Amino acid sequence: MPDRPHQRKDLTDPAKKAPDPGARVFFALWPDASVRCSLDELAGQVHKACGGRRMRAESAHLTLVFVGQVVLARVESLKSVASGVRVPAFDLRLDRVGCWKRNRIAWLGTRETPLPLAELVQGLEQGLGREGFKFDQRPYFPHLTLARSARCEAPLPTDADIRWRVEEFVLVRSSLLPGGAAYGIIGRWPLR
C-alpha cells in the first residue's frame, strides 16, 4: 500500500476539523414516572375527544425557554446559565385543559402559575440574555402539549387535576426525526 502522507496531514490539521453540527435545545420541566403516568392517561382522554397526534408519554415535558439551534461549543455556556439560577422547589397544579385553534394544539396548563416557576423562567431568560443567546421572546404561557393537529371544537376534560412536586429542571436536546422529535436530556439542575 503506497504511503499517502498528504491524507494523514489533513486529519491532524486543526483548521480542517469537522464543522460543529449544532443542536436544537430548550430548558424544560421533565415529569417523574408517576406524573408522567397521569399525563399519559389525560393525553389518552384528550386524544379520544380531539383526535390528532397524541403526546408520547416518554416525551412529556413543560418547556421553560425554547433556545433553538446553538453550536455545540455553546452548550457549556447554557449549562453555566442554568447553574446560576437559584429557585426553590415548588408544587405545580395542572388543572386546565385547552386547545389553540391557530395551531391546533391541545394543552394542559395551570390556573395559577406558581411564583417560583415564573422566577425560574425569568432567571433563565436573564442569564441567556447576558450570555448573548437569542431565544423565543413570546410571553410565557406554561403548558404541556397533549395532542397536535387536534380538533379544538370537541369537548375537553374539565376535571383535570395533576399535582407535580417540581424539584429540578433540565436542558433538552431535540432531534427532528421523520416520526417526530426525539428528546435527550443533556443536563439537570436541582431546585432548592
Residues that bind ligand 2AM (CB under 6 A): 26, 63, 66, 105, 136, 145, 174
HSE-CB for 142 with a 13 A CA cutoff:
26
Q: Cβ 33 to ligand 2AM, closest distance in Å? A: 20
97 vs 7: CA distance, rounded Å: 60
The three-state secondary structure class of 85 is: coil
Beta bridge partners of 147: 54, 106
- Smallest separation (angstroms) from ligand 2AM to the CB of 144: 7
- Shortest distance (Å) from residue 105 CB to ligand 2AM: 5
* CB distance 91 to 106 below 8 Å: no
C-alpha span between 163 and 38 (Å, rounded): 9
The nearer residue to ligand 2AM, 34 or 149, going by C-beta atoms, is 149
Closer CB to ligand 2AM, 37 or 181, in the complex: 181
Rounded least distance, CB 18 to ligand 2AM, Å:
26
Cβ distance to ligand 2AM smaller for residue 66 or 90: 66
